[in-house]
Amino acid sequence: METYTGKITSAYRADVVVCGGGCAGVMAAIASARNGARTVLLEKTSCVGGTAANGLVGPFMTCYDPKGETQIIKGIFDEMVRRMEKKGGAIHPSRTGQVSSYGCYIRLRHNNLTPFHPEVLKMVMLEMLLEAGVRLHLGVTVLDVEKEGNRIHSVVAFDGNGLVKIGGEVFIDCTGDGYVSLKAGVPCEMEDEKTGLQPMTLFFWIYNADDKRIEEYLSQDEENRYLPYHKLIEEAREKGKFPINRNKIGLYHMPEEGQWRLNTTRIQGLSPVEERSMTEAYIEGMRQVEFLMDFFKTLPGLEHARIAQSGACVGIRESRRIRGHYILTERDLVENTKFEDTIALCSYPVDLHPSSGSATGTSYKKERTDVADVYEIPYRIMLPQGTENLMTAGRCVSATHEALGAIRIMPAVFAMAQAAGTAAALCIKHGWKPEDVSLELLQRTLREQGQCLKYETEVNR
């Protein structure tokens, strides 16, 4: 193994350094800055929003209880959605209801989703970041961390011209793959991509679909509605004319008439943290998009659909997970474990797409899920072992494979990230380490800033 030594060409500091400008990073940075911390956000691409923007991943899954009566994820997420709605770029989840075209007609916990336009998402995220006073750096790729003992004092990144050092007091890893945590020596886990890891998907977006014809066709029988075009897919598969390991066309209506977001490609057996695998994943994803656009010519309502855009990056359901001060388990979700350090609520089921085969994640035949109607997410899953001033938010938090299958959805990510950013700002204000944050103060601050932490309280208001 060769060693390379580079020269640092510039340096700057902040109170809080957020690494990764996807959904988690944007929310953590806004929360941190609004609560008084000098905050830097580093993003490797040329825009914020991560897979929701670059990858077209959506809609935002449910932020309500299963009955659709109580919104359980609010805070900055709800503010963002309402801003998007005012610009005509989203439909608030209070208006999307239960089984609907916005949720691919899935019955199990796909109520009250948020369809959105990715360009409006980028606009609103930028507005909110700049209003909060976040120092945003795009085109900056984090390469390494510098530590003294268990404390990170800076990250080293490449900004397009040279190596730059960004110092801080608290760091938040929102890279999705837990890259900062890995470089800091945090123990991490990842399922085997051949036997356990959830597959990846390249989303794409179509227009000129016939909404009325789609609705008429899918309403013919129950299986056809909840597994769209399943029978036609299986007929084609038997003839060797459907090579994708999918048993339905996953289509989600967007805010605009005739436009749908497609979650149908399936890329199995590749690693989300290896460059060659991700290159292969993108190539395979584009092949599948091209095939599907041709296949749509045989499907009622999609015969004249045209492609508007494909994701600029592949959507990743899971990769590295840190080992934190607590590991959230499926049992916690089933039994609704009551935590002293609750920082978010969620209601989404354990949704595991298979590493092989064509089965879907949440099946239309499942009328119920074993997880509680609403369950709690604790602060400790964002605190990596072996570090004093690092937190995580997003899909790299400390959870089992099964638990992550539930809390990986974007509304839960937004809620966790708001808590991480708020906690980081409290650390700066009071001189605390993340693990020493006053839980009473953190929870009170989150509630004051619009977040829900107790489902029973919300119901009984």
- Structurally, how many domains does the chain consist of? 2
Last residue of a domain, one of 277, 292, 310: 310
Nearest to 438 by CA among 452, 420, 453, 426: 426
How far apart are the C-alpha atoms of 320 and 268, rounded to whole Å?
Answer: 16
User: Do 173 and 72 lie in a common domain?
Assistant: yes
User: Do 257 and 298 lie in a common domain?
Assistant: yes
pLDDT, tens digit (0-9, with 9 covering 90-100), for 182-219 = 999 999 999 998 888 999 999 999 999 999 999 999 99
Q: What is the distance between the terminal CA atoms of the chain, rounded to a whole angstrom?
A: 62
CATH of the domain at 30: 3.50.50.60
DSSP string, 42-98: EESSSSSSHHHHTS----B---B-TTSS-B---HHHHHHHHHHHHTTSB--GGGT-S
pLDDT, tens digit (0-9, with 9 covering 90-100), for 391-402 = 999 999 999 999
Last residue of a domain, one of 266, 289, 310: 310
Rg (CA), the chain: 21
Is the pLDDT at 449 greater than 90? The verdict is yes
User: Do 40 and 188 lie in a common domain?
Assistant: yes
Is the pLDDT at 459 greater than 80? The verdict is no
How far apart are the C-alpha atoms of 264 and 441, rounded to whole Å?
Answer: 44
Owning domain of residue 397:
8-89+117-193+319-459
User: Do 189 and 219 lie in a common domain?
Assistant: no
Is the pLDDT at 457 greater than 80? The verdict is no
Quote the mean pLDDT of the chain: 95
pLDDT, tens digit (0-9, with 9 covering 90-100), for 125-183 = 999 999 999 999 999 999 999 999 999 999 999 999 999 999 999 999 999 999 999 99
How far apart are the C-alpha atoms of 176 and 160, rounded to whole Å?
Answer: 22
Q: Helix (H, G, I), strand (E, B), or coil: what is residue 11?
A: strand
Nearest to 163 by CA among 146, 151, 148, 147: 146
- Domain assignment present for residue 103? The answer is no
User: Do 299 and 351 lie in a common domain?
Assistant: no
Nearest to 19 by CA among 129, 143, 132, 147: 143
- Domain assignment present for residue 102? The answer is no
pLDDT tier for residue 430 given thresholds of 50, 70 and 90: very high
Q: Helix (H, G, I), strand (E, B), or coil: what is residue 374?
A: coil
- Domain assignment present for residue 2? The answer is no
Q: Across the beta sheet with 141-148, what order do the strands follow?
A: 8-13, 163-167, 151-158, 141-148
CB-CB contact of 311 with 57 (8 Å): yes
Lowest mean pLDDT among 66-75, 188-197, 331-340, 435-444: 188-197
User: Do 363 and 434 lie in a common domain?
Assistant: yes
Whole-Å CA distances, 426 to 31, 320, 391, 394, 433: 11, 27, 13, 20, 9
- Whole-number percent of the chain with pLDDT over 90: 90
- Domain assignment present for residue 306? The answer is yes
pLDDT value for 387: 97
pLDDT, tens digit (0-9, with 9 covering 90-100), for 253-282 = 999 999 999 999 999 999 999 999 999 999
User: Do 369 and 389 lie in a common domain?
Assistant: yes
pLDDT, tens digit (0-9, with 9 covering 90-100), for 279-338 = 999 999 999 999 999 999 999 999 999 999 999 999 999 999 999 999 999 999 999 999
User: Do 214 and 303 lie in a common domain?
Assistant: yes
Q: Return the C-alpha torsion angle 431, 434, 435, 439, nearest 10.
A: 90
The residue ranges of DSSP E strands in 99-189, in sequence order, are 135-138, 141-148, 151-158, 163-167, 170-173, 188-189
pLDDT, tens digit (0-9, with 9 covering 90-100), for 20-63 = 999 999 999 999 999 999 999 999 999 999 999 999 999 999 99
How far apart are the C-alpha atoms of 294 and 258, rounded to whole Å?
Answer: 18
Is the pLDDT at 460 greater than 50? The verdict is no
CB-CB contact of 374 with 336 (8 Å): yes
Whole-Å CA distances, 108 to 69, 225, 405: 16, 13, 14
pLDDT value for 362: 61
User: Do 152 and 281 lie in a common domain?
Assistant: no
Is the pLDDT at 365 greater than 70? The verdict is no
User: Do 188 and 229 lie in a common domain?
Assistant: no
How far apart are the C-alpha atoms of 158 and 290, rounded to whole Å?
Answer: 35
- Domain assignment present for residue 29? The answer is yes
User: Do 41 and 134 lie in a common domain?
Assistant: yes
> Which residues lie closer than 8 Å to 247 by C-beta, 6 or more apart?
227, 230, 233, 234, 358, 359, 360
Q: Is the backbone of residue 280 left (phi > 0), alpha (psi -120 to 50) or beta?
A: alpha
User: Do 264 and 187 lie in a common domain?
Assistant: no
